[in-house]
Amino acid sequence: MKNIQISPSILSADFSQLGTEIKRLEEGGADMIHVDVMDGHFVPNLTIGPPVIKALRKHCSLKFDVHLMISPVHKYIEAYADAGADIITVHPEATDNLEVSINKIKDLKKKVGVSLNPETSIDLIKNFLNKIDLVLIMSVNPGFGGQKFMPEVLEKIKQLKKIREVEKLNFDIEIDGGINFDNCKIAIEAGANILVSGTTVFKGNDGDIKKNINLLKTK
């Protein structure tokens, strides 16, 4: 079994103090930093671009887990790699050719993630699982933080875990969307080994980040 890791989403951070917030996450025991990039087109929200990631990079030694919710995504991959992303996650629907985008990320010496929205079938990525480092399962419809967890996506995680075992693959399974102290256990039991959480990490227990991260891993 893979170790459970927590990738806090800075979407829930204080954007006026992002450098400080990232240091708090690192000191609180975060395993990586989840950066949600939204373009107002692929999803109905706008967030941050490469210059912000580049500026934040010097504040933190943790891996940057960058989730690109932008379309068309392919032409922006290199800019996010150059900015300091360690893991670059794309959506199959956001690229004309998923295999070409996967290969580009690999050529840039970054880890490859592919994300599946709640309505997106595993079938879109089955042929590429041997090239992927991480599958990100969305447990809300992407666009805004603070949405309610959709338990029906756990079936996809179970299927991915089984495929990984049968085919002897080694990709991580990450889940993002409404993850809190009430549902983290069922997500882990289904097979997720990386939990993305924003509101719970930053706001739970009066903002005690270290306590919240530990609770998500062990609850």
Which residues form the catalytic set? 36, 176
Q: Half-sphere exposure (CA, 13 Å, Cβ side) for 79? A: 13
The answer to whether 35 touches 85, Cβ cutoff 8 Å, is yes
Burial (CB count <10 Å: 0-12, 13-18, 19+), residue 161: middle
| Residue 79: exposure state from Cβ atoms within 10 A (0-12, 13-18, ≥19) | middle
**Burial zone of 178 (CB within 10 Å; 0-12 exposed, 13-18 middle, 19+ buried):** buried
- Residues in CB range of 52: below 8 A, 6 or more apart: 18
With contact defined as beta carbons under 8 Å apart, do 81 and 69 qualify?
no
Query: What tokens appear for 64 in the block?
Result: 């940057």
